[in-house]
Amino acid sequence: FRRPWKLASQVATLDQLSGGRAILAVGLGAMDEQLPDTGEEPDLRVRAARLDEGIDLIQTVWGGGDRYDGDHYHYRSGRFGLAEMAQPVPIWVAARWPRPKSLRRALRCQGVLPEFVPEGREQGPDDVRALRAWLAEHGAPAGMDVVIDGETPADDPAAAAAQVKAWADAGTSWWVESRWGMPDTQDARVQAMTERLAAGPPRG
């Protein structure tokens, strides 16, 4: 939904302001009849192709390249190009497991935010082990980040630590504490997240 060269510039600025701590997470973007209709491309295949090109274009710019030509995007560096102000920032991409076409996109990036598509069961650490094996078989670097999001209890430090440890032992490199919900549950979610932050990280 964003112009890749503009996003590359904005993330480069954020990276400088944060002392090199920026991470760019990307995905196809949600399209739902409950969301506003903004005239964006609804076709998943077109959006996927644009996302692939956007990732390549951004990494080309951050890598010092001054031009990019794809089916959807074309870029030429001007007098004030982006390469001079940017250094490569890790890109995490949303991908669905076990769908190979989606997963191949992760191979162009430094991290993956997997959305598991289990068959009638809840996702678990074994899914990360299977994902890690697939990535290794297809040439992903050993240090590639696998990022999982979820909820840990604020009132039970031991349970929270055990929950996160199971994912870490399976190969998860980042745990993102999240509280998903609709606008009408916002107050409760803010309260829950405030309590979780006050409890501190789920460490053993």
- Considering Cα of 25, then 123, then 150, then 140, what sign does the dihedral take? negative
Residue 71 CB partners (closer than 8 Å, separation 6+): 49, 53
What proportion of the chain, given as a percentage, has pLDDT over 90?
Answer: 63
Q: pLDDT tens digit string along 87-127?
A: 789 999 999 988 888 899 999 999 999 998 776 678 899 99
| Angle in degrees, CA 45, 173, 50, rounded to 5 | 15
Least confident of 50-54, 134-138, 148-152, 183-187: 183-187
To the nearest whole number, what is the mean pLDDT of the chain? 89
pLDDT of 116 reads 87
